Amino acid sequence: MQKPLTVSQAIAHRRSVRNYTDEALDDELVKKCIENASLAPNSSNMQLWEFIHVKNPELKELLNTACFKQQASRTAERFVVVVVRRDLWKKRAKANAEFIGQNKAETESQIRRKKFALRYYQKLMPTIYGFDNFGILSSIKKISTWVSGIFRPIYRQVSLSDMRIVTHKSAGLAAQNFMLSMAEVEYDTCPMEGFDSRLVKKALGLPKKAEINMILACGKRSETGVYGKRFRVPFGEVYTERF
């Protein structure tokens, strides 16, 4: 078996591949890459995501249509759909609290941290992710945060729209874990944001409150899979030192 690429090699190897061969992928290997995606850092460890590994030919065609039959979706051997599941916040908060509750706390410091963590998931998470009737609670939280922020540093992203951004950022981190894991074994991907989200959710039987973060076309790149040389603006334009 060929030696896996290093992290730096995988980053260099990864490209947005838009044309794939018909070579079959090892689905267990793809599944392992999805498992790596689930290890990504995420806000408050809430893990408000879901990864759907699409192998069924009929579903693949439905996703191809939902992706406007672009080149990457037409030739993909597999799809992985990254879904944001804010609607599962109660379940995820409860799972975190139960995990923390099972951990032994012996020293005073450990007991203090455990109590704080339990309050975090049992009290704070409902405030952040709970139902907001007509955005009234978000407005109250915004005003309260603004007033408190006059006197001290404070976390300001407290509205439901802010939390929507937070959960999508977490899902994006997971997607990057997946793409680099695929690159490590020299499988290729193309993250697609051009799709009809309603058709995708209908095809996959997802609930109304689920949101599609991105769809990843997967396969082995053909000779025409990469459209050209990688372009990046000069590093000096995006890098700044502060000493």
Would you list the domain boundaries of the chain?
Answer: 7-88+162-237, 90-159
- What pLDDT score does 133 carry? 65
* 188-192 β-sheet, strand order: 49-54, 78-84, 211-219, 188-192
Residue type for position 144 = S
Distance from C-alpha of 64 to C-alpha of 215, rounded to nearest angstrom? 10
* Residues 136-173 pLDDT 10s: 777 877 888 888 889 998 888 778 888 999 999 999 99
Residue type for position 142 = K
Mean pLDDT of 77-98: 97
| 134 pLDDT higher than 70 | no
- What pLDDT score does 171 carry? 98
Q: pTM of the prediction? A: 0.92
Phi, psi of 104 (to 5 degrees): -75, 140
* HEC profile of the chain: CCCCCCHHHHHHHCCECCCECCCCCCHHHHHHHHHHHCCCCCHHHCCCEEEEEECCHHHHHHHHHHCCCCHHHHHCCEEEEEEECHHHHHHHHHHHHHHHHHCCCCCHHHHHHHHHHHHHHHHHHHHHHCCCHHHHHHHHHHHHHHHHHCCCCCCCCCCHHHHHHHHHHHHHHHHHHHHHHHHHCCCEEEEECCCCHHHHHHHHCCCCCCEEEEEEEEECECCCCCCCCCCCCCHHHCCCCCC
Please, are residues 40 and 174 in contact by the beta-carbon 8 Å criterion? yes
Across the chain, mean pLDDT equals 94
| 12 pLDDT higher than 90 | yes
Q: Nearest-CA neighbor of 46 among 87, 84, 83, 89?
A: 89
Pairing mode of beta strands 211-219, 49-54: unpaired
- What pLDDT score does 1 carry? 54
> 157 versus 98: which is more confidently predicted?
98
* Residues 215-239 pLDDT 10s: 999 999 999 999 999 999 999 999 9
Please, are residues 166 and 157 in contact by the beta-carbon 8 Å criterion? yes
Domain 7-88+162-237 annotated CATH 3.40.109.10: yes
| 128 pLDDT higher than 90 | no
- What pLDDT score does 200 carry? 98
* Residues 18-75 pLDDT 10s: 999 999 999 999 999 999 999 999 999 999 999 999 999 999 999 999 999 999 999 9
**Largest Cα–Cα distance in the chain?**
62
Please, are residues 216 and 14 in contact by the beta-carbon 8 Å criterion? no
